[in-house]
A and B are shown apart, each in its own frame.
Chain A
Amino acid sequence: MSTGPRSIETPRPNVLLIEDLPSLQLVYKSVLMAAGHGVRVASTAADGMAQFIETAPDVVLLDLVLPDRDGLEVMQDMLALRPETAIIVITANGSINKAVEAMRAGAHEFLVKPFDEQRFLGAVTNAAGDHSLRRMGNPPIVAIAKSPPPPVASTTGAFIGSSDPMNRIHAKIRSVAQSMATVFITGESGTGKELCALAVHDKSSRAAGPFIALNCGAIPQDLLESEVFGHMKGSFTGAISDKPGAAAAADGGTLFLDEICEMAPALQTKLLRFLQTSTVQPVGATRPRKVNVRIVCATNVDPLDAVRRGQFREDLYYRLYVVPIHMPPLRERGDDVIEIAEAALARFAEEEGRHFDGIAHDVRALFRRLPWPGNVRQLLNVIRNVVVLNEGGIVTRQMLPGDLAKGDVMPAGPGTLNHASAEPGLDGLIGKTMAEIEQTVIEATLARHGGSVPKAARVLDISPSTLYRKIEGWAKG
């Protein structure tokens, strides 16, 4: 076989190919060899396992249906022997569930037959790069620093806590971090989905690379493509310079796509293509660029329900929903609410130059009892409110925001909303600006739903995080 041009910066791993169909063996082998890879071939699980032990390949291409044994079992045996091996499973069209099962069990990537040369080589190259990282122990990959830490309100708390649900989350993060598998985080608004994504990144072999977070629900849809894939100068009105986009900026690291179910259908198609080819083509660019990115995404809605309603592509769902992690709501985390409140109190007090002596027993009891519809974010807002509005001492019930102190209605934000206000009639709205009308209607909706942001958001048909941003904006403004 002839050998194609070699790129000096791309590692060329030894590949073990396990495929029982002779013609596909030849196809895969010729493509890999033309790309400069060393290839060993096996037709059965037994032969494949023997060669795996003998040659310790960097990458294994494994057909999941083999004549003598289930490919999934073979993969698990291989990973037990050499966990750093990148295993790409190949499956027949129509067996996506099997591929998803393999990804959950530690496969690096999956390919669906029939063969697509670009995707095939892309997967092997990505696997090779990731394997090198695992072997070398987190060398710097690109000169892009991690994105700035998120606001304090979300840096304290979500990962404090020793409840059983959180212990299970930590265990899952540890087991999935070293894989290339896409992580799909679900959970109510305010439960710490971005912190969970950051934890997955920090424990992975890409920890030295960038962590780029993008909220698909917070960016106008017409700008989202440019934000994700970038644009070239002059490609549209307002594109005054080249912009790399989040996918390229995350090269060598992790791209976190929050509120993924709010992505427009057209962009979902492009994201699917990106996941299949590992290439990005900025708006206005003439050729695509290869990137090595791990995707972590999150949503506060039921993604399968979004698929059923036709709002989210089913094929994209199966591509992304490989390792699900569900962040539990604060009300199901037992005494974590106290641990988080104490940690936040200490941190915010230090930031504000105040001294607090802890939380009174009756406030602790109240905190344990409350349903916390806004979850950790809401708790942090309450503690911030207490620290800002009080000089210090023990946190008592009287220091809490009005309705919270009564223990009957939940505040949605830092004590800024008047939930008891009368609902607006049309006459009361006339003469107000659109912004004022929006705020009035939102406040009235919140009041009708007992201050529950998720419930109000559902009625208003906007995401809870959008609602929180608006509330926080009013508090600041």
Chain B
Amino acid sequence: MIPDRQAAAVRKIDITPLRHLLQLGTKRDATALVSSLLNDLQITKSGFEQAWKGPDFAALRANSHVLIALAGTIGDTDLHGVAQHLNGLAHGQSTAEVTDMKSTTMASLDDLISVLLHLHGTGGT
């Protein structure tokens, strides 16, 4: 379980949907799923870091698509919304607007990764 203070330390993220998924299988399955989510989120973060250098709008679109799927599945509605907004801006190809979204997106992504890291440390349950 994530202590309340842990979630509050970053941003309040209600991961009830993820907890439900983790309970579908064994503890080992749950740990594997959290590891996999962490890995996919880290790859996405790296992808964003590269994409913002251009900015590479196609890469921003691709990574925001992945983030929409992952954040939505986990239940992080705030990050899901941020990713959707970023995806729309990337389609619009406005350098100023996507650059404005960088800090919010990365901070929100880091928050989610922190929560999952803590979850992973407690055995994914």
Contacts and interface: CB of A to CB of B under 8 A. Distances in A.
In the complex, which of the residues B17, B71, B88, B91 has the most CB atoms of chain A within 10 Å of its own CB atom?
A: B17
A10 B82 CA distance: 39
A34 B21 CA distance: 10
A117 B19 CA distance: 13
A26 interface: yes
B66 interface: yes
A94 interface: yes
B87 A1 contact: no
A21 B40 contact: yes
B29 A1 contact: yes
A114 B77 CA distance: 11
Contact of A30 (B24, B39, B80): B24
Given A34-B24, A115-B69, A26 B33 contact: yes
Given A30-B33, A94-B91, A2 B25 contact: yes
A35 B21 CA distance: 12
B81 to A, nearest CB: 11
B36 A23 contact: yes
Contacts of B88: 94
A31 B33 CA distance: 12
Contacts of A23: 33, 36-37, 39-40, 70, 73
Contacts of B21: 27, 30-31
B98 interface: no
Nearest to A92: B65
A114 B71 contact: yes
Interface string A115-131: 10100000000000000
Interface string B48-74: 000000000000000001101111110
A114 B88 CA distance: 16
Contacts of B125: none
Interface residues of A, number: 21
B32 A94 contact: no
Contact of B87 (A31, A65, A93): A93
A92 B69 contact: yes
B26 interface: yes
A5 interface: no
Contact of A24 (B20, B32, B73): B73
Contacts of A27: 21, 33, 73
B68 A92 contact: yes
A24 B91 contact: no
A22 interface: yes
Nearest to A24: B69
Contact of B24 (A31, A65, A114, A115): A31
B73 A2 contact: no
A295 B30 CA distance: 38
Contacts of B114: none
Interface residues of B, number: 26
Nearest to A22: B36
Interface string A81-112: 00000000000111100000000000000000
B69 A113 contact: yes
A93 B68 contact: yes
B93 interface: no
Contact of B73 (A34, A94, A95, A114): A114
Interface string B112-123: 000000000000
Contact of A1 (B20, B26, B71, B73): B26
B4 to A, nearest CB: 25
B24 to A, nearest CB: 4
Contacts of A24: 40, 69-70, 73
Nearest to A65: B65
B27 to A, nearest CB: 11
Contacts of B65: 65, 92-95, 113
Contacts of A1: 24-26, 29
In the complex, which of the residues A2, A21, A115 has the most CB atoms of chain B within 10 Å of its own CB atom?
A: A21
B80 A114 contact: yes
Given A27-B33, A34-B25, A22 B40 contact: yes
B3 to A, nearest CB: 24
A30 B40 contact: no
In the complex, which of the residues A2, A22, A26, A34 has the most CB atoms of chain B within 10 Å of its own CB atom?
A: A26
Contacts of A114: 68-73, 80
B105 to A, nearest CB: 16
A34 B33 CA distance: 15
A94 B21 CA distance: 25
Interface of A: 1-2, 21-24, 26-27, 30-31, 33-34, 65, 92-95, 113-115, 117
Interface of B: 17, 20-21, 24-26, 29, 32-33, 36-37, 39-40, 65-66, 68-73, 80, 84, 87-88, 91
19 contacts: A1-B26, A22-B36, A23-B37, A23-B73, A24-B70, A26-B36, A27-B33, A30-B21, A31-B24, A92-B65, A93-B68, A94-B88, A94-B91, A95-B65, A113-B69, A113-B72, A114-B71, A115-B73, A117-B17
